[in-house]
Amino acid sequence: MAIFTGAGVAIVTPFKENREVDYEKFAETIEFQIANKTDAIIVCGTTGEASTLTHEEHLDVIRYCVKCVNGRIPVIAGTGSNCTETAIYLSQEAEKAGVDGILVVTPYYNKATQNGLFEHFKMVADSVKVPMILYNIPGRTGGVNILPETVVRLCTEVENIVGVKDATGNISQVAKCMALADGKVDLYSGNDDQIVPILSLGGKGVISVLSNVAPKETHDICEKFFAGDVEGSCNLQLKALPLINALFSEVNPIPVKKALNLMGKMGGTLRRPLTEMEEGNAKKLKEEMIRFGIINE
């Protein structure tokens, strides 16, 4: 059984003006998500600015999220690193915290071979008992791509590696992976503009940035598709495209934190090297949020 089906939010980590983690606002953000039908929370991923958290902060945020959610929906923790031993440490500590699964990104900077990727992911998975989702995002890992054959091998040979979050944007590669998978790969879209195409290839859902600001609508894209209302699902996907484009007009999570602040949800500030959104892009984002009905003029 999949860790979750539907729309999982790649949740932001709110920071105060002094750039400390704002746990009060984080709790409010979690409650907003659960109240609006988010199917899972993915904590300390790219959108959560995990790369700027210390190991202690990273694990504290995971522990707080698990405690706050209190079993109401699955919590999946980002525990990847370009160092295998660090990924093992973070994964083991996340398991102790009570997460329902882990999301482990392709090692960045090192530029591992396919054999290296296999060994890395296997060693991390073997160090824990919770299920693990691979995270394939070549745009953030120096172009390193987990090939379909490697994804399927990992999901077949390693018991608790259950699937992949695919953010390659390459639908042909996704199709090849699912053709080889023989039902052994739980597939999640890593791109909000490709939810329906991924579902059509047998996907279980999406790990979503859009869900931060439109959790119910993102959930509904998946729910309608699974209920057989493909046309309704597709219409929601197409309606959301201009907003999705605005949310990715600058590097994630710059726009989504701006959007949350516009909603009064207090995404808070960003940690360097990320900076505030440029005025022109922020204006367009606000326009799309108004058009989508998230905020008023």
Could you list the active site residues? 135, 165
Tell me the two tokens of residue 253: 């999570």
Cross-strand partners of 186: 163
DSSP 3-state helix, strand, coil percentages of the chain (rounded to 5)?
A: 50, 15, 35
Secondary structure element (H or E) that encloses residue 41, with its range? strand 40-43
Separation CA 155–CA 99 (nearest Å): 20
The reply to whether omega before 273 is within 30° of 0 (cis) is yes
| Side chain identity at residue 123, one-letter code | M
- Residue recorded with tokens 């490697």: 150
Residues 6+ apart with CB under 8 A from 245: 193, 288
DSSP character at residue 19: S
The answer to whether the CB of 95 falls within 8 A of the CB of 77 is no
- Residue recorded with tokens 């953030």: 140
CA 119 to chain centre: 23
First-to-last alpha carbon distance for the chain, in angstroms, is 44
| Side chain identity at residue 19, one-letter code | R
The answer to whether the CB of 13 falls within 8 A of the CB of 53 is yes
Separation CA 259–CA 210 (nearest Å): 10
